[in-house]
Structure 1
C-alpha cells in the first residue's frame, strides 16, 4: 500500500465511529475525483435500505466532523483527500464491482443533466465533469458499460465546447469503442458517437479523418431510424458542412451526400 499504516489506522478509527449513512456516502465519494464536489450532488437521491438514514447532508456533516471530508467555508462544496479515497476504495472488497462504485456512477450520471453544448448549463456541468471522468474511468476498468459510455461522451462534448480538445478526444474515442462493442456499428447510438468524434476532428482541422466517420454516422442513422429522425437531420447538417470546409465544389458536395440519401 502506498500510504503510511498510520493513515489506515486513523481512517479505520474514524470510520468505525460514524453511522451507516455516512459510511455509505464516504464509500460513494471515494470513486469521485479529488476536485471539489458540489453539495448539490447530495440532492440526487438513490435507493436506500429500509430503516437507513435518509438525510445526506446530515451524513456529510458527520463525515466532516471526523475530518473524513472537508466542507468549504465559502462555497457549497466538499473535498475528500486522495488518501482517504484510496483507503476507502481498498476497503470495498466484499463484492466486485463494488456496490458503491455502481451507486456513484448512477449518482453522477443522474446529476449530469443538460445539453453540454448549451452554455447555460456550463456552470453546473463544469463542477461535475472531473467526477464524471473519474467514476466513469473506474467503471470502465471493471467492465461496466452503461451509463459509462454516455458519461464519457457527454464529458468529452463539454470539453470540446470549451475547446479542451486534447482531453475531449480520448473520452470520445473510448465512448465510441464501448458502444461499438455493446451495440455494433449499425446502432443509432454508435452513429451519434461517430458523429461526435467527427465533429471534434473537424474542429481540430483533421477533415480527412472526420469525413469517413461522419459518412458512417449518416449511413447508420438513415438505415436504422430513417431520414426524418432528429439525429439523422443533425448528422446530415454536419456532413453537409464538411465538404465545404474541405473546399469541395457544389457538384462534389451533392455527389458525396446523394448516395447516402438514396438508401431510404
Structure 2
C-alpha cells in the first residue's frame, strides 16, 4: 500500500484533527513506560516519543516518509538485536505496508520480555471506514491504506505472544475536509465515547510482550538488604547470650 501523500494529508484540517488526538494519546501512554531504548517506526516528521523519558529514543523508517530519522531500514528486517528494545510505537505503520504481519513479527523479535508496543490505525468499522469503501482504489491517503480492525490486530498479537493491555478509539466526526464542518461535528467526540465507543475513526492500542515460563529474579539490592537484616539479628542474639 502506497503511503505517498499521507504526510501532506496530515497537514490538512482533517489530518490535523486525527494527528492531534493521536499525539495526545501517545503522550499519555508513553510517559509511564520505562527502560533504555525506544523506537518509532514511520512518520519521522512527528515525534510520538516526546513524552517518554528513556535515554535512547530514535525514529526509524524505510525512506518513504519526509522527515528526519536516525535510522533508515527495511521495516521487514529491523537492524536491532533480539530482545533489545523496550518500546516500539507504530503510527499508521501497518496499514500502509504490503506485509504488515512481517513487520509485527520483527517488532516482537526486537522487543525485550515485558516490552511494549503501541499501534495506531484507522478503524474500518467507522464513518471513515465507510468512506474508504466508497472511495476509488486510486484515491489519495488516507483512503488508500488497508485498514486493520482491532479484533484482527488482537488476533495477530495473540499469535506472536503479545498481550493487549489498553486501547482507545477517537475522532468520531464524519470524514469531512473543511475546518468549519469539523468544528460543527466536534460534539460527536464527546457523544461517541459514551454511545458508540468502538466506532471512532482511529484507534490506539498497547500490547506487552509476554514470555511464558520466565521467572522474575529479585534484585540484588533486596538480597543484600535481607542478608544485612539477618546479620543484625544474629549479632543481637549473640550479644544477648553473652550477657
Same fold (TM over 0.5): no
More helix by share: 1
More strand by share: 2
TM-score, scaled to structure 1? 0.24
TM-score, scaled to structure 2? 0.25
